[in-house]
C-alpha cells in the first residue's frame, strides 16, 4: 500500500514578497524541571494553532523545541515546523520574546496556575 500525496494549490505572492505573519504566543512557565523552562501555545495569523511548543534550557541559552513524537526506533521527529530558515527564525524570535516578556510582567496578573505568564502578539 503506497502513500498518496496531494498538493493543494493556492495563489502565491511574488517570491520576493514575504507574507505578513502574526504570532500570538502564550507562555506557561514550568517549575521544578531540569531542562524545560516553559511551555508555549502559538497561534499563527489567527488561523493555525500550535500547542506543545517548549522553551528549553540550552548551553548557549534558551531555545525553542517544536512538538515531537517518538518513533519505534526511539528517534524523535517534529510534528510541525517552519519550512524555511527565515520562517524558523521569525517563529523562534516570537516565542523567545514572549518568554523574556513573561519575566517583565508583574506576577500578580497570574491568578491561577493555568493562566499564561505572558501573551504576546507579533
What is the Cα–Cα distance from 18 to 82, expressed in whole angstroms? Answer: 14
Q: What is the mean pLDDT of residues 6-26?
A: 75
pTM for the full model? 0.73
- Per-residue pLDDT, 30: 94
pLDDT tier for residue 101 given thresholds of 50, 70 and 90: very high
- Per-residue pLDDT, 41: 98
Q: What is the mean pLDDT of residues 97-122?
A: 66
Helix, strand, or coil (residue 24): strand
Q: What is the mean pLDDT of residues 56-71?
A: 96
**Higher pLDDT pick, 26 / 14:** 26
Burial of 122 (0-12, 13-18, 19+ CB in 10 A): middle
- Map out the domains of the chain as residue ranges: 23-106+114-121
Q: What is the mean pLDDT of residues 32-60?
A: 95
CATH code of the domain occupying 23-106+114-121: 3.30.1120.40
Residues 116 and 24: beta-carbon distance below 8 Å: no
Amino acid at each position: 500500500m503506497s502513500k498518496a500525496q496531494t498538493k493543494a494549490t493556492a495563489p502565491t505572492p511574488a517570491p520576493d514578497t514575504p507574507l505578513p505573519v502574526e504570532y500570538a504566543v502564550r507562555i506557561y512557565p514550568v517549575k521544578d524541571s531540569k531542562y524545560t523552562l516553559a511551555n508555549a501555545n502559538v497561534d499563527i495569523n489567527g488561523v493555525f494553532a500550535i500547542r506543545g511548543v517548549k522553551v528549553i534550557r540550552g548551553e548557549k541559552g534558551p531555545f525553542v523545541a517544536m512538538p515531537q513524537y517518538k518513533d519505534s526506533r526511539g528517534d524523535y521527529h517534529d510534528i510541525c515546523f517552519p519550512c524555511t530558515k527565515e520562517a524558523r527564525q521569525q517563529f523562534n524570535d516570537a516565542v523567545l520574546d514572549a518568554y523574556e516578556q513573561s519575566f517583565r510582567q508583574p506576577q500578580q496578573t497570574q491568578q491561577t496556575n493555568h493562566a499564561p505568564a505572558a501573551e504576546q502578539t507579533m
